[in-house]
Amino acid sequence: MLLKVFAGRADKLSVDLSSIALAGVQQADLQLQSAGSALAGVGSNSANAAGDDVVDISAAAVALNSAKTQYAASIDVLKLAEQISNATLDVLA
């Protein structure tokens, strides 16, 4: 017989979507904390030698928006992992 049936898994390395999503949430949390710290420093000891404010509010706002997007994407991945898990259980049951 020319065709061989592969009884093992097609993918050698398993992918845990939940772990990937949780890592994304942690990364978004770090980004949020960093942007929040930068914004909290506005007006308080954030001036350079010339007395200019050195906090880039635009960059902090972009970082906050990016963290929000990353949180949402990570939550969507968690929901997808749950759907895949439920569908797999339905097929196996």
pLDDT tens column, 52-65: 566 788 888 999 99
Residue 77 has what pLDDT?
A: 94
Q: Quick one: average pLDDT of 14-43?
A: 88
Residue-wise burial string across 10-40, b where 16 or more C-beta atoms lie within 10 A, e elsewhere: eeeeeeebeeebeebbeebeebbeebeebee
Range list of H helices, the chain: 17-40, 57-92
Does residue 48 or residue 58 have the better pLDDT? 58
Rounded to whole angstroms, the Cα distance separating 14 from 10 reads 10
Residue 63 has what pLDDT?
A: 93
- Evaluate whether 72 touches 24 at the Cβ level (below 8 Å): no
pLDDT classification of 45: cutoffs 50, 70, 90 = low
Q: Quick one: average pLDDT of 74-84?
A: 93
Classify the phi-psi angles of 28: left when phi > 0, otherwise alpha if psi is within -120 to 50, otherwise beta: alpha
Q: Which of 32, 21, 16 is nearest to 64 (CA)?
A: 32
Q: pTM here?
A: 0.67
Domain range annotation of the chain: 17-38+56-92
- Which range of 46-55, 68-77, 82-91 scores highest in mean pLDDT? It is 68-77
Classify the phi-psi angles of 6: left when phi > 0, otherwise alpha if psi is within -120 to 50, otherwise beta: beta
